[in-house]
Structure 1
């Protein structure tokens, strides 16, 4: 448990703290082509623990493996060329943490000098790289490698990970006793599609694949969407890039909350002198956020009361901070929390700028230099930016998973929707752990906290495998099925993108919610710290059976 202090080098020169546009487009773009080169020999490697992904999840799992499990025979595989995950790849102007960074950071490595409560992307990446440096993780990392398949060997009780080198197309086969999948959900951009987009002669880009070489000054920009990314992007464009005009095409409504009070920043700075002080402020934020949980669940008088308070707070702010002419486009009519609430980044006040126009008209098609709406209106544009979020289900289904006796876990997910027992384990897949896996996200909490909770569960089970106490550990099929049923039933009584909530959101596809956790973060912490071993198949090691 220690504290880091950033040099703020990223503020002077952000470029080294973000992915190159060409590299991002190659693995995140709309037309990804995986390089293959069968003329090269197959590269075969191995480790006891293999970690897929080098974002917060991969970093936390690696540190847990080294410090708690005392295991250094680990390998980290990442498709980008650096640590950071979405905080390395997602670099649009204004990109920042949407919750307080003193909570959206690792509890064992707190930072003493965040510049803001919600710091910018490059500062978040600088923090991540400082943690990597402090724990000497780079020597375990293998970059520019993308996983295509996991296959379990029943006899050897290990996994073979099939990968491609993204530089030369070489096939890599890596065997590991334990695999931790830490790729996260906000990975694959949900690309905008419209008739005629392929004929557009201006610049199209998704907010998650930002090209910093494109000049924006004096340009006519169209922004598709109005979620958190657009909320951060638009005021930054208006303040720092001087566009000629912005037309924002609003596709849905969101509850926008007032900015996080500045008093939290003052409190943070007051207590930033020590790890204990920082931990105290972090605990304070956690308690305040956890108190919001009732608004997401059920229809009891208390849930309705908490929901009413937050709804009233949001609507009061939205009505008072945005132009009256846009209220019909902006103000939601569903239950608050159905979509993730947005803490404002000066987006609503920026709508008073004469250069921006909001519309909720539906797009009909796109020409070489304009957007044409179904009502016949045509708007000339030079740049189209899609703030259309991520395909979360694709992130959970981007490689094959062949488990015990040839069971195809990926097909089960495609058929029934992504799921993992307690968000961690998949049936027929021994010794495979998902960190920030299906149903691990909460609408009121920090995903980094959820990651650390998942790592606790991982370490408790992995320790028994590494010690030779058990050859393999896998969830019982009936317990996996029961979790799936209970989880989806609970979520039907939650506001997360359900009929109860009254909206459609990225939390679920209307049939299956593979994103949201159905209970509180306190409940998740307890479950991760107290594994239910009766729900698991514990295969005795060869040594114990002799």
Structure 2
């Protein structure tokens, strides 16, 4: 099969000629994806199902696939979404052991999918991207890489660059003076050492985000003493099994705490219609939460009152903890709600101390508070999160040499419909600014973005297009709409949140301005007018029409139009 190159398309050097290919013939193309987590793995499968005449490579910095679920190994780590909805729509797993699966079980699911689908052939592990630049003359991305096993650096080139590195990926130490001088063991929740032994030691856990809330009850019984240092209160939800197993189908589920009973797992495996109904019922509940986020009909007030009653009932004998932990200045849902099984209970244990005083510095023997008190410690666990600025950790140079790092450092990160970036041709990102990251499971989100990208790649392949870039005006107007809408949600409350890049009053940059269904609907609507196209044939954009024939004439159904032209439901 022939291919179109920029040189033979230049109308100044050669007269216009017919392309001797049928309409729809895809030109050869190379796609480079960064990251072999959920999004990167799904992208491999999506491309296999939708494209031909392409090559694809996925570079992963870690030693194995899995992304978040390969990296996060701290005690108590589990997903905050129901297991049966935290899976690919194309790979159901009726065998989940828990309503909310633990990190290792999710990692096992991902590894199984990778093996069953034969995805490893396109993945290069232990390969770190150190930079990327758009080469306009060739219409390719030049990606610089380092082989972490050998130390070798090299370049790869591809027409498309897909960033699937994720938002909660670039972990960071807290900005506390003297942290490096601590004489004991210092651990970050997102880089948990396999050989870290905390049993019998004096341990501090800094932070009460989702990681801290899971770590504290997981280690409390095994440590000599535990000091939990928190900067502000947070809302803790009851176990998801208490909140979500409502309705006829869900009430019938047989549970032993958070675990499914053997007979329940057997029914999931043997009764496909029941299993499908269970998943749909859970999904409908998850999607319905958005109404609470926009405070319709007093739902937010009801949620907050329920959470307040739950926390107060668990902490009933500790008025000091009630005062320290139950928020009074921001609404429930302002931060991502974390189910915290055992968290509140563990804080009342005799070997636990909750500290709300500010940390002044870290000293060799422990933590010094602003009051001057020094808390002696053997280990400090920093459950302090990630760099959530969306700024890539390596330079990405787009049109005219602009660096995405500089753009998203100087101004608020913006992306067209969360996945395309101004001045970055043939570049797409998963879970970018204003994605529905707080609305529900990210797996179905990743699938939808992959479909969107595949459609764009196919258009470029088959319509003589060299590059496609979202219009700067379209990106700006989408961001304008988001920033006008999101203040009406609870997420805009006066709390520090990674949705607002760790600030209390900054604009929301991480969330979609609408419901989860709203986002899916939006992503299904193709808006080619919001993009700028550069064509391989600069003198005639219709050269892709080719030799007068179509690839459909030799396809499986050359008279497909006889079926369904009268069906207008898909318009």
TM-score scaled by structure 1?
0.86
Shift of 1:162: 1.3
**Equivalence map 1:416-431=2 (5 Å):** 416-431=411-426
**Equivalence map 1:179-258=2 (5 Å):** 179-239=161-221, 242-258=222-238
Tell me how far apart the structure 1 counterparts of residues 52 and 319 of structure 2 sit (CA, whole Å).
Answer: 60
Residue of 235, 240, 254 corresponding to 1:260 = 240
Partner of 1:492: 487
Shift of 1:183: 0.6
Partner of 2:284: 287
Do residues 336 (structure 1) and 332 (structure 2) align?
Answer: yes
> Is the contact between residue 436 and residue 519 of structure 2 (CA under 8 Å) also seen in structure 1?
no
Partner of 2:16: none
Partner of 1:533: 528
> Is the contact between residue 442 and residue 521 of structure 1 (CA under 8 Å) also seen in structure 2?
no
Shift of 1:177: 1.4
Shift of 1:374: 1.2
Do residues 477 (structure 1) and 459 (structure 2) align?
Answer: no
Shift of 1:198: 2.1
> Is the contact between residue 471 and residue 530 of structure 2 (CA under 8 Å) also seen in structure 1?
yes
Partner of 2:364: 368
**Secondary structure in 2 aligned to 1:461?**
helix
* RMSD of aligned Cα (Å): 2.1
> Is the contact between residue 112 and residue 273 of structure 1 (CA under 8 Å) also seen in structure 2?
no
Distance 1:121 1:375, change over 3 A: same
Shift of 1:447: 1.9
Partner of 1:310: 303
> Is the contact between residue 99 and residue 241 of structure 2 (CA under 8 Å) also seen in structure 1?
no
Shift of 1:469: 4.6
Task: Provide the aligned length of Structure 1 versus Structure 2.
Answer: 491
Tell me how far apart the structure 2 counterparts of residues 88 and 485 of structure 1 sit (CA, whole Å).
Answer: 36
Do residues 505 (structure 1) and 497 (structure 2) align?
Answer: yes
Partner of 1:327: 322
Tell me how far apart the structure 1 counterparts of residues 278 and 346 of structure 2 sit (CA, whole Å).
Answer: 31
Partner of 1:398: 393
Superposed CA deviations along residues 302-354 of structure 1, whole A, max 9, x for unmatched, are 2xx11012112211111111233301110012112111111122111222221
Tell me how far apart the structure 2 counterparts of residues 124 and 481 of structure 1 sit (CA, whole Å).
Answer: 37
Q: Select between 314-323 and 124-133 the one with higher mean Cα deviation.
A: 314-323
Do residues 169 (structure 1) and 147 (structure 2) align?
Answer: no
> Is the contact between residue 391 and residue 409 of structure 2 (CA under 8 Å) also seen in structure 1?
no
Superposed CA deviations along residues 27-49 of structure 1, whole A, max 9, x for unmatched, are xxxxxxxxxxxxxxxxxxx9711
Tell me how far apart the structure 2 counterparts of residues 55 and 291 of structure 1 sit (CA, whole Å).
Answer: 27
Distance 1:54 1:47, change over 3 A: farther
> Is the contact between residue 453 and residue 524 of structure 1 (CA under 8 Å) also seen in structure 2?
no
Tell me how far apart the structure 1 counterparts of residues 300 and 475 of structure 2 sit (CA, whole Å).
Answer: 32
Unaligned runs of 5+ in 2: 1-27, 256-263, 544-571
Distance 1:428 1:193, change over 3 A: closer
Over alpha carbons, which structure has the higher Rg?
Answer: 2
**Secondary structure in 2 aligned to 1:271?**
helix
Do residues 407 (structure 1) and 402 (structure 2) align?
Answer: yes
**Secondary structure in 2 aligned to 1:212?**
coil
Shift of 1:545: 5.1
Tell me how far apart the structure 2 counterparts of residues 345 and 144 of structure 1 sit (CA, whole Å).
Answer: 35
